[in-house]
């Protein structure tokens, strides 16, 4: 496999911060890599270096002569009044039929394809940009947080696109479910060092935690030995009879070294407000209509959310999830019907209309002290600020100089330091890295109050949600099933749409052939092809079974934890290959018997 991009001994700084420190990286053809790291670690900077938009201060970045990078643009590339089809033709210089064919992979058709592209939502505009990427025929895709603000349906379409894309990809994302579904390898940037792991993000995070725990145990053993040697040396070096022993022990002490445990930042710990649990109905909606004076978004809403629920609001972008949340927190007035919260409810809100209206005169620490519970200590305030990435001199920054992402994190920190027994959260995981999203999910699971939230992060939704409310086609109702079943239903809808589109494509391209008689010889050839694949699969299954058995035997006697972990991952990978091969064998056997 050719190396498309190679980074050698690269160094780069931003002020006093080291972003790249003797960094090494090779991106090879047809491998999809998930790129993770703490916020501020330098992920976006590295992308700019790889794109050639920034230079490294030392080292080199080598591009293969055949490299064609497709970069998902964050800015708006559309002209006024331009349709999606017009943009695709202008951007790719491809004919309309080819642009329409590629656009169909992202369900871009009708008014979405031929109407003004600037009037589409952010998610639909992202679909247009992805279609444009595919038309450029890149052999390396670079995607920077591609799932931000994408609804579930668009995320799944993007996953299908990436799984079918036979070239390389480098994807920056904090969405674990998305990375697990699309990337076979994981790249981490930590303290300027790049680490490539030959597995998915869940495996990498598990390996990293096990490695750090192993290093801590070894360090504890080494430290105890060092203390023992020091005591012996101090006690015996003055005695002539034991001085030589003391010198020998001193040499042993010099050779004993602890391992530096690579932790990018202190472990993120987030605590939710401490509230007393309550029972009964938290909020009730009867005959509720929501929307704006000139537009009704949903009507006839009959809805109840109980105290202690963690209710996930789901639905495609543009269906009205945010409108419902804004109505629930009285930021928008209902158009009709009634909305009533229970007695003693204290609502805390995290949403864009809140974190864009913070008092700009205050510093970060002043804002947090102002909004926090009266029993909160300054140490608690500083700990929460640190968990949301405000540390050292950053806590003295004025709100007026904070970026949009920083204001969002500040609002989240203030909310978690308060006393609210109901949290209404609109996309709480945006602007947070993988570790912080995980810490927030854990905090919300332990929270004794009620949570009503939206999120496009499926891992977060699965971890937090106890009930699901769907907003769709002007209706809002409880979804009778958990988040996994909702996810499965959306997958089935998308799969059905793709089958219909593919069958339609086949009819359009082969209409004349379809009307002719069935080619008997072609059927015979297809049958022989199926039989050959079945025999090859049987050999492969036997081989994988044997490899798995051999590794398992070695694993039982392996004492080196690193080698054991490597064998464990090999076993997992073989198990996945075995499962896929067996499923394909069953599928082909069914075909051959029809």
Distances (CA, A) of 200 to 310, 491, 575: 29, 21, 15
User: What pLDDT shows up at residue 99?
Assistant: 92
Asked whether the beta carbons of 428 and 455 are under 8 A apart, the reply is yes
Burial class (CB in 10 A: 0-12, 13-18, 19+), 188: buried
Q: What is the mean pLDDT of each run of 10 residues along the chain (594 residues)?
A: 88 84 90 87 88 91 92 80 93 91 87 89 83 89 84 86 89 90 92 89 86 77 80 79 77 70 58 90 95 92 94 89 92 94 92 79 90 86 84 86 81 90 90 82 94 92 94 90 88 78 54 37 57 75 78 72 75 78 69 56
**Residue by residue, what is the 3-state secondary structure of 169-211?**
EEEECCCHHHHHHHCCEEEEEECCEEEEECCCHHHHHHHHHHH
User: What pLDDT shows up at residue 263?
Assistant: 46
Q: Which candidate, 427, 428, 433, 358, places its Cα nearest to that of 397?
A: 358
Asked whether the beta carbons of 134 and 105 are under 8 A apart, the reply is yes
Which distant-in-sequence residues (6+ apart) come within 8 Å of 540 by Cβ? 581
Asked whether the beta carbons of 423 and 74 are under 8 A apart, the reply is no
Helix (H, G, I), strand (E, B) or coil at 18: strand
Q: Which candidate, 288, 44, 84, places its Cα nearest to that of 173?
A: 44
User: What pLDDT shows up at residue 505?
Assistant: 54
Which distant-in-sequence residues (6+ apart) come within 8 Å of 405 by Cβ? 430, 431
Q: How many CB atoms lie within 10 A of CB 304?
A: 12
Q: For the domain with range 3-204, which CATH number is right: 3.30.1200.10, 3.60.20.10, 3.40.190.10, 3.40.50.300? A: 3.40.50.300
CA distance 420 to 205: 33
Asked whether the beta carbons of 98 and 132 are under 8 A apart, the reply is no
Q: Which candidate, 550, 271, 275, places its Cα nearest to that of 383?
A: 271
| Two tokens, residue 591 | 């075909």
pTM score, two decimals?
Answer: 0.67
Question: Helix and strand tally (H, E) in the chain?
Answer: 20, 18
- Please, which residues bridge with residue 398 across strands? 363
User: What pLDDT shows up at residue 264?
Assistant: 42
Beta strands at 3-14 and 17-28: parallel, antiparallel or unpaired: antiparallel
CATH architecture assignment, domain 281-489:
3-Layer(aba) Sandwich (3.40)
- Residues for the chain: how many in total? 594
Helix (H, G, I), strand (E, B) or coil at 71: strand
Eight-state DSSP code of residue 297: E
User: What pLDDT shows up at residue 521?
Assistant: 45
Which distant-in-sequence residues (6+ apart) come within 8 Å of 197 by Cβ? 185, 186, 187, 188, 203, 204, 207
User: What pLDDT shows up at residue 339?
Assistant: 95
Beta strands at 185-190 and 193-197: parallel, antiparallel or unpaired: antiparallel
Instruction: Answer whether 3-204 and 281-489 agree in fold.
Output: yes
User: What pLDDT shows up at residue 250?
Assistant: 79
Domains of the chain, by residue range, sit at: 3-204, 208-255, 281-489, 532-594
| Two tokens, residue 221 | 């053993």
């Amino acid at each position: 496999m050719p190396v498309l991009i190679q980074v050698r001994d690269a160094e780069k700084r931003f002020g006093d911060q080291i972003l790249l420190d003797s960094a090494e990286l090779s991106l090879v053809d047809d491998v999809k890599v998930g790129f993770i790291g703490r916020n501020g670690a330098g992920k976006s900077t590295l992308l700019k270096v790889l794109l050639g938009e920034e230079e490294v201060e030392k080292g080199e970045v080598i591009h293969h002569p055949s490299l064609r990078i497709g970069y998902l643009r964050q800015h708006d590339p559309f002209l006024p009044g331009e349709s999606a089809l017009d943009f695709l033709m202008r951007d790719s210089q491809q004919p309309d039929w080819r642009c329409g064919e590629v656009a169909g992979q992202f369900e871009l058709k009708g008014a979405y394809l031929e109407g003004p592209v600037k009037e589409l939502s952010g998610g639909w505009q992202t679909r247009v940009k992805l279609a444009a990427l595919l038309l450029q025929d890149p052999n390396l895709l670079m995607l920077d947080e591609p799932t931000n603000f994408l609804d579930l349906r668009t995320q799944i379409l993007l996953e299908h696109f990436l799984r079918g894309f036979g070239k390389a990809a480098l994807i920056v994302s904090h969405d674990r479910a998305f990375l697990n579904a699309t990337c076979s390898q994981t790249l981490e940037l930590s303290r300027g060092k790049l680490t490539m792991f030959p597995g998915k993000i869940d495996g990498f995070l598990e390996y990293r935690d096990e490695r750090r725990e192993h290093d801590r145990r070894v360090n504890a053993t080494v430290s105890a030995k060092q203390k023992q040697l020091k005591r012996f040396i101090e006690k015996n070096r003055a005695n002539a009879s034991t001085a030589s022993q003391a010198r020998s022990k001193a040499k042993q002490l010099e050779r004993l070294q602890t391992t530096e445990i690579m932790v990018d930042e202190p472990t993120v710990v987030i605590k939710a407000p401490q509230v007393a649990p309550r029972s009964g109905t938290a909020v009730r909606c009867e005959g509720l209509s929501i929307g704006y004076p000139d537009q009704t978004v949903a009507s006839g809403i009959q809805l109840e959310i109980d105290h202690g629920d963690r209710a996930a609001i789901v639905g495609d972008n543009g269906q009205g999830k945010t409108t419902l949340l804004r109505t629930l927190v009285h930021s928008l007035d209902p158009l009709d019907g009634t909305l009533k919260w229970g007695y003693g409810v204290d609502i805390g809100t995290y949403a864009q209309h809140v974190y864009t209206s913070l008092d700009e005169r205050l510093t970060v620490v002043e804002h947090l002290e102002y909004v926090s519970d009266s029993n909160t200590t300054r140490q608690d305030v500083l700990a929460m600020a640190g968990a949301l990435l405000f540390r050292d001199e950053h806590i003295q920054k004025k709100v007026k100089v904070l970026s949009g992402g920083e204001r969002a994190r500040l609002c989240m920190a203030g909310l978690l330091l308060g006393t609210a027994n109901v949290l209404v959260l609109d996309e709480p995981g945006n602007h947070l890295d993988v570790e912080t999203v995980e810490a927030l999910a854990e905090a919300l699971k332990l929270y004794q109050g009620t949570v009503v939230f939206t999120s496009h992060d499926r891992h977060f939704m699965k971890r937090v949600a106890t009930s699901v409310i769907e907003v769709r086609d002007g209706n809002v109702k409880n979804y009778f099933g958990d988040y996994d079943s909702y996810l499965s239903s959306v997958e089935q809808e998308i799969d059905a749409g793709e089958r219909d589109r593919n069958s339609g494509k086949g009819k359009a391209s082969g209409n004349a052939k379809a009307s002719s008689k069935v080619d008997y010889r072609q059927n015979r050839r297809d049958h022989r092809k199926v039989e050959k694949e079945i025999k090859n699969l049987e050999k492969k299954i036997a081989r994988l079974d044997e490899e798995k058995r051999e590794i398992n035997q070695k694993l039982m006697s392996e004492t080196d934890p690193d080698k054991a972990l490597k064998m464990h991952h090999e076993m997992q990978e073989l198990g996945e290959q075995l499962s896929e091969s067996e499923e394909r064998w069953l599928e082909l056997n069914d075909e051959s018997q029809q």
